[in-house]
Amino acid sequence: MAEYREGSTSRATFPLPDVEWPPTAPYWDGAASGELRIPFCDACGASNWFPEAECGACLASAFTWRVMSGQGTLFSWVVVHRPFLAQYADDIPFVPALVSLDEAPEVRVPTRIVETEPDSLIFDMAVTVAFRPLHFRGVDGEVTAPFFVPA
Ligand SMILES: [Zn+2]
């Protein structure tokens, strides 16, 4: 199991993702390079999402991060109208979503749908990755994140 990193919500950069946390660092490295990367088990080939130290299917611990096309379908979403943390005050309304990837439909990427009217969203609609800066009010720095837009 991946170890929980104490104090992760008290980091000065919270709620920006911790891009150096080993289980997810390749995901954020990929995003910074314009690639959507997902880990697959070297032993059994299963996609492993959310990334963990051991394969969820066979408990092996070696993975290869594959670059996905970025094409997928909208599995689920909500529209957030009230900032549940002060850092989100500049973002509302925003659309947290789960996207199922075409090459690995069992993978559901937590993301946001951006640059579209929330009322136009339809279950299972085609979406494509769009790398955008993620930043928050009162938080220094930003992280390039895989968001999605209608395909
Ligand atoms: Zn495996």
Which has more confidence, 5 or 132?
132
Separation of alpha carbons 39 and 60, rounded Å: 12
Instruction: Look at the block and give the residue holding tokens 């069992």.
Output: 106
37 - beta bridge partners?
67
Question: How far does residue 42's CA lie from ligand 1's centre (Å)?
Answer: 7
Range of the domain at 97: 8-150
Q: Is residue 136 part of a domain?
A: yes
Separation of alpha carbons 6 and 30, rounded Å: 25
Question: How far does residue 52's CA lie from ligand 1's centre (Å)?
Answer: 11
Q: Is residue 1 part of a domain?
A: no
Q: Is residue 49 part of a domain?
A: yes
Q: What is the per-residue pLDDT across 29-85, written as a single tens digit (0 to 9) for each?
A: 999 999 999 999 999 999 999 898 899 999 999 999 999 999 999 999 999 999 989
Question: How far does residue 66's CA lie from ligand 1's centre (Å)?
Answer: 15
Q: Is residue 113 part of a domain?
A: yes
Q: Is residue 52 part of a domain?
A: yes
Q: Is residue 3 part of a domain?
A: no
The confidence score (pLDDT) of residue 1 equals 47
What separation in angstroms does the CA of 1 have from each of 23, 54, 55?
10, 6, 9
Which has more confidence, 8 or 15?
15
The confidence score (pLDDT) of residue 11 equals 80
Question: How far does residue 47's CA lie from ligand 1's centre (Å)?
Answer: 8
Which has more confidence, 96 or 50?
96
User: How many residues would you count in the chain?
Assistant: 151
Question: How far does residue 59's CA lie from ligand 1's centre (Å)?
Answer: 6
- What lies within 8 Å, CB to CB, of 84 at 6+ separation is none
Question: How far does residue 46's CA lie from ligand 1's centre (Å)?
Answer: 5
The tokens describing 57, both together, are: 């299917």
Provide the domain count of the chain. 1
Instruction: Look at the block and give the residue holding tokens 């559901």.
Output: 108
Say whether pLDDT at 3 is over 70: no
- Neighbouring residues of the ion ligand 1, judged by CB less than 5 Å: 41, 43-44, 46, 55, 57-58, 60
What separation in angstroms does the CA of 49 have from each of 56, 89, 138?
8, 29, 31
Q: What is the per-residue pLDDT across 97-151, written as a single tens digit (0 to 9) for each?
A: 999 999 999 999 999 999 999 999 999 999 999 999 999 999 999 999 999 999 9
Q: Is residue 2 part of a domain?
A: no
Q: How confident is the model at residue 23 (pLDDT cuts 50, 70, 90)?
A: confident
Exposed / middle / buried, residue 83 (Cβ in 10 Å: 0-12, 13-18, 19+): middle
The confidence score (pLDDT) of residue 84 equals 85
